[in-house]
Amino acid sequence: MSTPRILMCPPDYYGIEYEINPWMSRSRGSTPDRAQAQWQALRDTLVAMGAHVELLPPQPGLPDLVFTANAGLVFGKRFFSSRFRHEVRARESPYFDAWFAQHGFEVEHLPEQMYFEGAGDALFCGRTLFAGYRIRSDAAAHQWLGSRLERLVLPLELVDPRFYHLDTCFCPVAPGAALYFPSAFDRYGRRVLQTHVDRLLTVGEDEALRFACNAVVVGKKVIVNAGSDRLAADLRGWGFDVVFLELDEFIKAGGSAKCLTLRLDGEDAAVWGLA
């Protein structure tokens, strides 16, 4: 197996400076030292698992730049840059675009009128791209991407504002295998998942609210936010090693492990089928 490559951004300027999802509260704020320590533990764990972690320089005034999953969608050497719904996050895009251009990716932009929030809302499981829409990304953006990538895209409507990105309620762990929190989807979305993913693990509401679905998979190892014992037992039953990390400083902004990472060489669950 080649070395997994993951993009992260240190939380030097992380904080809760605006409220764009139900998790964020400016009055509660974040604790910078704790956030730094939790982020470092995530990075160290990924490195210990054999991943190569690339760092995007943090920028003052961009508190959510730590959530590199939202930079865009990586597909081979192509990088489809996000079009954020909220202006406070759209300001991150020039930094992400510059990094990808400097690192040998071809940077592509979606048409202007379509919102798209990258790997936060678009996850490959096998050859199929599963795509969450309505709260942040637009279904039209996913269709546009599907035609560019020549891949089947299955749009899934997100119906619960607490699970506003697909990666908060769905996580592919291997081709044909994923975990999900059913009530974040409508009945049709649940049926799409049940008929297009061979093996699905159901996450309970209490664990989903601790961001259990926002997991990072590296080979047969999975990093999960602390406090998801039932999911961990199920994953062990599937042959995975589970590592718990406390990332509650980032849950204050509506993110956990997966949101803080962007896989540059293709997720383990993805089958890109590129030459």
Given the rule CB under 6 A, which residues bind ligand ARG?
A: 20-21, 24, 64, 67, 69-70, 89, 120, 165, 167-168, 253-255, 259
d(CA 62, CA 65): 6
Judged by beta carbon, residue 51 or residue 66, the one nearer ligand ARG is: 66
Do 240 and 18 contact (CB within 8 A), yes or no? no
d(CA 262, CA 265): 9
Do 99 and 62 contact (CB within 8 A), yes or no? no
Judged by beta carbon, residue 51 or residue 104, the one nearer ligand ARG is: 51
* Residue tagged active-site, from 125, 169, 213, 259: 259
* Contact residues for 176 (Cβ-Cβ < 8 A; gap 6+): 125, 126, 197, 198, 199
Rounded least distance, CB 129 to ligand ARG, Å? 16
Rounded least distance, CB 253 to ligand ARG, Å? 4
Judged by beta carbon, residue 237 or residue 253, the one nearer ligand ARG is: 253
DSSP 165: S
Tokens of 122: 């678009």
Rounded least distance, CB 215 to ligand ARG, Å? 12
Judged by beta carbon, residue 157 or residue 241, the one nearer ligand ARG is: 157
* Residue tagged active-site, from 142, 165, 169, 171: 165
Q: Is 213 a catalytic residue?
A: no
Measured CA to CA in angstroms, residue 21 lies from 9, 44, 72, 77, 212 at distances of: 21, 29, 19, 31, 18
Q: Is 125 a catalytic residue?
A: no
Do 105 and 79 contact (CB within 8 A), yes or no? yes
Rounded least distance, CB 239 to ligand ARG, Å? 26
DSSP 64-77: TTT-GGGSEEEETT
Judged by beta carbon, residue 138 or residue 167, the one nearer ligand ARG is: 167
Rounded least distance, CB 159 to ligand ARG, Å? 16
List active site positions.
165, 259
